[in-house]
Chains A and B, each alone.
Chain A
Amino acid sequence: AQTVTQSQPEMSVQEAETVTLSCTYDTSESDYYLFWYKQPPSRQMILVIRQEAYKQQNATENRFSVNFQKAAKSFSLKISDSQLGDAAMYFCAYKYSGAGSYQLTFGKGTKLSVIP
Chain B
Amino acid sequence: GAGVSQSPRYKVAKRGQDVALRCDPISGHVSLFWYQQALGQGPEFLTYFQNEAQLDKSGLPSDRFFAERPEGSVSTLKIQRTQQEDSAVYLCASSLAYGETQYFGPGTRLLVL
Contact = CB atoms under 8 A, between A and B. Distances in A.
A44 B91 CA distance: 9
A102 B48 contact: yes
B99 A97 contact: yes
B107 A103 contact: no
A47 B42 contact: no
Contact of B107 (A4, A43, A91, A93): A43
A33 B39 CA distance: 26
Of residues A42, A97, A103, A106, which shows the largest number of chain B Cβ atoms within 10 Å of its Cβ? A103
B1 interface: no
Contact of A109 (B42, B59, B104): B42
A45 interface: yes
Contact of B101 (A42, A47, A108): A47
B31 A102 contact: yes
A111 to B, nearest CB: 9
B48 A103 contact: yes
B48 A91 contact: no
Interface in B48-75: 48, 55-56, 59
Given A43-B89, A44-B104, A102 B43 contact: no
Of residues A37, A43, A50, which shows the largest number of chain B Cβ atoms within 10 Å of its Cβ? A43
A84 interface: no
Contacts of A105: 45
Interface string A83-116: 0000000010100010000111111110000000
B104 A102 contact: no
Contact of A106 (B3, B44, B59, B89): B44
A107 B42 contact: yes
Contacts of B103: 47
14 contacts: A37-B104, A43-B109, A44-B3, A45-B91, A45-B93, A47-B101, A47-B103, A50-B101, A102-B31, A102-B45, A102-B48, A102-B98, A105-B45, A107-B42
Interface of A: 4, 35, 37, 42-47, 50, 91, 93, 97, 102-109
